[in-house]
Amino acid sequence: MKTASTFAGDVDFALIFIIGVSTILLIAITFVMVRFAIKYSRKKNPVATQIEGDTRLEIIWTVIPTILVLVMFWIGYIGYTPLREVPDGAIEIDVTGRMWSWTFEYPNGFQYDTLKVPVNTPVKLNLLSQDVIHSLYIPAFRVKEDVNPGRANYMWFEADKIDTFDIFCAEYCGLLHSAMITKLITLPDKEYQDWIAANNPATAEIDPVTEAARFTKAKGCVACHSIDGSKLVGSTFKNLYGSTKTVLVNGEKQEITVDEDYIRESIYQPNAKVVDGYVPGLMPSYEGQLSEEEVDKIILYLKSLQ
Ligand SMILES: [Cu+2]
Ligand 1 centroid vs 104 CA: distance in angstroms? Answer: 15
Q: Give the right CATH number for 8-84 from 3.30.1490.190, 1.10.3260.10, 3.40.640.10, 1.10.287.90.
A: 1.10.287.90
Ligand 1 centroid vs 170 CA: distance in angstroms? Answer: 7
Ligand 1 centroid vs 147 CA: distance in angstroms? Answer: 8
Ligand 1 centroid vs 37 CA: distance in angstroms? Answer: 50
Ligand 1 centroid vs 182 CA: distance in angstroms? Answer: 12
Architecture of domain 91-198: Sandwich (2.60)
What are residue 95's phi and psi, to 5 degrees? -110, 130
How far is residue 6 from each of residues 79, 120, 137, 159, 272, measured CA to CA in Å? 11, 9, 16, 7, 50
Residues of the chain with pLDDT under 70: 1
Ligand 1 centroid vs 24 CA: distance in angstroms? Answer: 38
pTM, two decimal places: 0.75
Ligand 1 centroid vs 40 CA: distance in angstroms? Answer: 55
Residue 16: per-residue pLDDT: 93
Ligand 1 centroid vs 178 CA: distance in angstroms? Answer: 8
Spacing of C-alpha 101 from chain mean position:
9
* pLDDT tens readout for residues 101-125: 999 999 998 989 999 999 999 999 9
Tell me how far apart the alpha carbons of residues 166 and 177 are, in angstroms, rounded to a whole number. 15
Residue 1: per-residue pLDDT: 67
Ligand 1 centroid vs 195 CA: distance in angstroms? Answer: 28
Domain boundaries, the chain: 8-84, 91-198, 208-304
Ligand 1 centroid vs 146 CA: distance in angstroms? Answer: 10
Ligand 1 centroid vs 93 CA: distance in angstroms? Answer: 18
Ligand 1 centroid vs 135 CA: distance in angstroms? Answer: 6
| Beta carbons of 257 and 243 less than 8 angstroms apart | yes
Ligand 1 centroid vs 284 CA: distance in angstroms? Answer: 14
* pLDDT tens readout for residues 54-71: 999 999 999 999 999 999
Ligand 1 centroid vs 102 CA: distance in angstroms? Answer: 9
CATH 3.40.50.1000 fits domain 208-304: no
Cis? peptide before 102, omega within 30° of 0 = no
